[in-house]
Amino acid sequence: MGLRFINFPTICFIFLLSFKVVNGDPADGVFNVKDFGALANGKNDDAKVAFLSASTKACNSNIAAKVLVPEGTYLVSLAKFQGPCKAPTVFEVHGVVNALPRLELIKSIKISAPAENLNTDGIHIGNSNGIEISSSVIGTGDDCVSLGQGSKNINIFDVFCGPAHGISVGSLGKTLNDEMVGLTVRNCTFTGTDNGVRIKTWPDCADGIASDFVFDDIVMNNVQNPIVTDQQYCAHNKCNLKVPSRIKASNVSFKRIRGISAS
């Protein structure tokens, strides 16, 4: 159940505010981006003022702090959240955070979620062309990077992945004419992940294309399944495995992949 917010009378609000805030900072260490002007309407850029202001205040807090992103849809431009902070600081995201159109470079970021938290993809890309992800550390309960239909010419370099399900193409085939063309994953390290690099397509699906993929110079440390090509991907056992996938996978290369498998 989502949180419900109640508009109290002004005098009551002032009392609560004076009770909760000490020296200008929340006494509980929670910095809600909406308190810093985030509109959460999916149209206005909430990064330049709200997200940066909340993260800066949290980072300068003398007690453990949390930047809270409540339910809503947030549009954010490229923002740099920089430490070190005075005390442990985390982001807690309950809403949807979307990048501005034509964001082409994702660099030097760190994303962390507990391994047991399901459906927590670090970065998901879909219907995008020419995106580069580099020099980043990602650990989640799902894919470090997932690549959906309509992704083209994606480059992923120097990414440390784990814990996670790996870097995955797909799953493709749930919609008509799914297509993923052009992917390079190079100089990446996977540690303690369920999978390394993975391609997954649904059986009994519409025609589609998955082509021109290069996986090169990759280190696997204690990875359950370093390379996975699964054209009978079936989440929740809701598919017909008797009919093969119609996603045509072609021109896929795996080079200089080395390390230790946990299986």
Res 174: pLDDT: 87
Q: Which of 9-23, 120-134, 231-245 has the lowest mean pLDDT?
A: 9-23
Q: Judge if pTM exceeds 0.85.
A: no
- Give me the catalytic one of 46, 142, 178, 194: 142
Residue 16 has pLDDT above 60, yes or no: no
E runs forming strands in the chain: 21-22, 25-26, 30-32, 41-45, 65-69, 73-76, 89-93, 96-99, 105-107, 110-112, 123-125, 132-139, 143-147, 152-161, 166-172, 179-191, 195-201, 208-223, 225-230, 247-261
Per-residue pLDDT at 2: 41
Q: Please state the domain extents for the chain.
A: 6-102, 104-263
Average pLDDT (103-108) is: 82
Give me the sign of the Cα torsion angle 225, 230, 232, 233.
Answer: positive
Active site includes 165? yes
Asked whether the predicted pLDDT for residue 137 surpasses 90, the reply is yes
Examine the pLDDT at 94 and tell me if it is beyond 80: yes
Residue 142 is a catalytic residue: yes
Q: How many helices (H) does the chain have, and how many strands (E)? A: 2, 20
* pLDDT tens sequence across 142-160: 999 999 999 999 999 999 9
Residue 114, pLDDT score: 84
- The predicted structure's pLDDT at residue 260: 92
Give 104-263's CATH code, choosing from 3.30.70.60, 3.30.450.20, 3.30.465.10, 2.160.20.10.
Answer: 2.160.20.10
Which of 46, 121, 143, 165 is labelled catalytic? 165
**pLDDT single digits (tens) 195-213:** 999 999 999 999 999 999 9
